[in-house]
Structure 1
């Protein structure tokens, strides 16, 4: 709604214009008036009107002087001159100052409304052209990835660019060309352009993808879809197709993936995850190349460490078990020459794998790059196996802080949700929206957090709660199936019976007859109906 301000030294004219128009009905907001330009300026600064209507001849500061000041200080404000002076000189001066319209008093309400609508349309058109000129598809995608544009502005820009961009879920994929020969750090621009041309010819077969070239060797792809699994499958297929392409030119293609996130603002989160993945792969690739080179004279095959066992211990181990586990894990490291580069690259490679696994598993928002730089300094200081053991124990302790933060961060929230579901499972209208409203968080945030922290969706937990209560009632009451269905939140008896059999392997009547004591709800199926 455009804001309109009026400046005129005649109070009757100000009151007449103010009271003769239904401003809200006409799509405007009357933001104030003043008797002269000098008194008008502070109001203009405070209200920032879109349209200024001003008389010319006024005391202290006339309309032309006010217009000149406003044009300099507030160039976006549109000005309409309203004057009783039928003088070409006044009109010429006003037009030279850049006013939108010049009309003579007296002016009717209908005439003024028509002028305001014309000026309002010009404002809208200028805004549209400004946005269109400001944004290109590449800039819009880049700003979304960088978190530099809000949801409303992104939707408006996409509409102006005729981009079909809105979807429930998004994920980001970064494609990078790297030298296929480790020692070849410099690649000719012509080689990269040839590889990019081959990549572009492949991506054109997928018009639903949103792509932009971030640098001479990197292309960013935004995938969108209605379901997370749909996007993940699409990403897997795309990566597989691209990997099958024969990229020559002394280059190879690497794909770095971000997770699937809800809403437009989730693009930024997915991009950050893809960036972390890209950085990790780059560091890991460089480290492995150096490790291979350094191992030529150091018999790496004689050094055996069980990395999978170490990863499992990172996820499930305890502080008390750490010293004994690390001593057992590092038995093979006693053979290493700690003054060699091989020792550094081996420990660094294991470190990179541990940090990346911890970040993905525990969902930490810690700055991964800074942490790795810090750890690499510590690795350079290792000169004997005892120091290596202390280093790994310290690293595990540090990564377990992420594990602890991840498990404690949303504990109270999850308990509130579970309690609310247990107390209201009988309500057949219970929904994600209603639950999030009662808990006081957004539905998208609650859905994501609940799934991450519990390993099941809210629908799965609700269904498990309802089926668990139904089993109790089948064993302890003589209620009929439709009565039990209604009491646990299902208005459709047939739907309840089918779901009960899907979960327990038996119909409600079979369960009651056999008095089954096992609890298959403990291993409740994944992929239930959406809450």
Structure 2
């Protein structure tokens, strides 16, 4: 570990510099990266320097050490605070404990005592960093949390939120690398239980039965989802689905023997593509809907009750997210690639013409929803009296349709980009107007402004800095000081009156900020 960064804060320059010179900091594992004479200045400095430790006096003008400590805890919770004070007042000590101050040192500061403080502090920091770097601890925590992470990952796959790429990246570390050539999802439904039975405990029992039984028939994993148990099975040959059905039927029999009631199992379509887990899950749910016809207490395989339309052309949630994100956020090349991906599916599928039309209508519907969500006039993209079904008849090839989608996607992208730039400028202009009307408010803050504008502080700060080349605080300070200059030039108001008129409660702090900006105090500026 390198040297830990430390800041010294005290309004008395002699004490501040004395502390810096007294200690051989590097020898004890530290480097002084900055010093400040008040809490406000220290806070601004800390946001830039990100020190590991701040040593601060309690009593200072503009912002005392305790208030500085509170703000640092909020902004940089890992930064350690050391308080030094000329008072052994228990109330100070009590407040210091509340903000997790790690050392409370009484003035006058004794270099021997300070060295001991630094030794303890270094040991503490070393241990914290060692713990963070300790891969065994991290590995242990990860392994303990794997079952929960895996379950959430599998649920994400059922809901169509996990891409094939994500699965391939994470399957090994989540223990899902047992998946072989084919997959299939089964959904176990409790048909009914006596009142005295706890459904939660029964679900656990069903999962245990699955885990004890299915290993004899296939590779699998089971997990609870909503009010059912889901079984994801995998096997090498497609015909092995017969074994899976036998295993599931065995579970139905065991359950009826143990509980005197029935469970039914819906078995979805088999696929050789991991991204089809959602489709297999949905068709397993469809299989369960045949219970009123076929009866409870058995496994219902979707291919037994519905014709196999698995060579389906589907514009699923992941496809939609990828496509719309490219329109909203990407460049021309990425948009063309996203449209190409959509049409690769068409070219690889051999389905009826009507299925192509439905698929393209789903793609178009996603574009229309995006257009509406940005309040863009649909006519400006698609023209007057647009009817896509009629429009399709005009095209002579898939290539022409693809070209049309690329053209409309690029038009939509251009309008959204302009809208984003315009909305950013409008937001910044509103912020400037707010500051202009409220700079006299002592309590004006970025949070207060953002509450008024109905945006998040993080988003606002990014946009404001990008548009104005300065932070909210710097801009507000400039506005206040420009107003102060006007008042100094055009009125006989005292400095403390001008301070309050431009939003500073303390005349001393106003003078400090003014001098820092212009290199001269307000009173001297007026004389000159």
Per the normalisation by structure 1, the TM-score is: 0.39
Per the normalisation by structure 2, the TM-score is: 0.39
